[in-house]
Structure 1
Amino acid sequence: MANPEPQFGGAPVPRHVAIIMDGNRRWARGRNLPRLEGHRRGAEAVRNTVRAAAEMGIEYLTLFAFSSENWSRPQQEVRDLMGLLRLYLRRELAELHANGVRVRIIGERDELDPDICGLIERAEETTRNNGRVTLIIALNYGGQAEIARAARELAQRVARGELKVEDIDEAAVWSCLYAPDVPEPELLIRTSGEQRLSNFMLWQTAYTEFVFDDVLWPDFDRAALERAVATYCGRERRFGGQVG
């Protein structure tokens, strides 16, 4: 007998939730604290959100951790962010694994330090058979770059005679994305009050429901996640074929 869908307020929870984690620097600035403290508190919010998502029955959680544009930030801030990433992958792996969390990283790895790539590979390999929730971290990621990468791969397939131009369709593009086996997010949350995608999952969010929350990311907690899911569950989703 199949397991029933996880419910929230009588409605199925979204299988895949994506979050643009925004507001770490503003949180710190508002408290006269260094930027690093905002990022540290943001890492704690990640821990709490992953735990809450697993408990709510969300199957996939994608977090926008570092965009390809973030390299233009002050060098010290970039070093701090990479240092926090190292700490997260080292310190949280055991707990993530014990709690049935599968870790996956999407984005370009060429610009990352070799030790970070090693930590990523270890986390992915250690947790690859876990099935409670899949945590997808978008790192050195850009949505336009992902689509361009898919276009290059399709062009290479055509050049090798493996694919005809007329056979390139939406499914073919999807197959060349970073995680083609992961379903599109039903819900995307952005914190801090900003209302834009910022080059995040441009292809995958064609019919995603958006929730914009004024809370700054370090203050995001289970209540905020539940609030966003409740908003999603209260909507009637439309996919272009419905009128009115």
Structure 2
Amino acid sequence: MPRHVAIIMDGNGRWAKARLLPRVAGHKQGVEAVKRTVRAAGDLGLEALTLYAFSSENWRRPAAEIADLMGLLRRFIKSEIEEITREGVKLRIIGDYRKLEPDLVALLDDAVAKTASNSRLTLAIALNYGSQDELLRATRRLMREARAGEIDPDALDDAAFEKRLDTDGLPRLDLLIRTSGEQRLSNFLLWQAAYAELVFTDALWPDFDRAHLAAAIETFGQRERRYGGL
């Protein structure tokens, strides 16, 4: 059983296009898939679930679509925070999310604070996240600490570097799922996925449900993880 599962939620636009609907309709159904998946993750006993919600590259999308996505995020936090709290879900935000609109940042910070004592499942939402940016931010932090004499560069190891990553405190990533049939990481958790098992499913994200998550976990259970050994 994996402790930590991450998902690249892909296919909202194609789901909508196949139904001759605007892209925002796909994003709305994607939010419903998030709700289903969070409930399923808790029921299945995962310790952590990380969802790739908005990448640092997504700013290249049309302004109207970005506004729709941010509006859906606001509504999700406002409407689901009480349910998240009741279900024992602890919310984490990873990525450079403080560059979002100030009211949205305040809403996210409040939600994180409200759920800080929960322990059934940690839900990490990646917002304005790019793994290369995360690695650069961690490196800059280490360089500042080294210049200040707070750390010896020769003593730096994997564990010390990971403490400077956005995912510090989360279990090591075991399984990374990408929906919609695409087979690439798209700048997501590059360091963390070094030895994660990868599962690619043809299901579009709005159609993703407990059965898809359970099937991916079953596939994970059939893999032999050697970490470079025999």
Please, what TM-score do these two structures have when normalized by structure 2?
Answer: 0.99
- Residue 98 of structure 2: SS of its match in structure 1? coil
2:75 is aligned with 1:113: no
Return the offset for 1:123: 0.6
Matching residue of 2:158: 170
Matching residue of 1:149: 137
Deviations 1:189-221 (A, max 9, x none): 000000000000011111000000000000000
- Residue 206 of structure 1: SS of its match in structure 2? helix
Superposition pairs of residues 23-102 of structure 1, within 5 angstroms: 23-102=11-90
The answer as to whether partners of 2:28 and 2:72 remain within 8 angstroms in 1 is yes
Return the offset for 1:179: 2.5
2:111 is aligned with 1:123: yes
Give the paired residue count: 230
Runs of 4+ in 1 over 4 A off after TM superposition: none
Superposition pairs of residues 164-203 of structure 1, within 5 angstroms: 164-203=152-191
The answer as to whether partners of 2:97 and 2:129 remain within 8 angstroms in 1 is no
Aligned-residue sequence identity (percent) comes to 56
Of 192, 202, 210 in structure 2, the residue corresponding to residue 204 of structure 1 is 192
- For structure 2, the residue ranges without an aligned partner over 5 or more in a row are none
Cα distance between partner residues in 2 of 1:186 and 1:48: 21
Please, what TM-score do these two structures have when normalized by structure 1?
Answer: 0.93
Cα distance between partner residues in 2 of 1:185 and 1:110: 24
- One-letter amino acid of the counterpart of residue 186, structure 1: D
Of 146, 149, 173 in structure 2, the residue corresponding to residue 158 of structure 1 is 146
- For structure 1, the residue ranges without an aligned partner over 5 or more in a row are 1-12
CA RMSD of aligned residues (A): 0.7
Cα distance between partner residues in 1 of 2:160 and 2:43: 34
Q: Which has the higher helix share?
A: 2
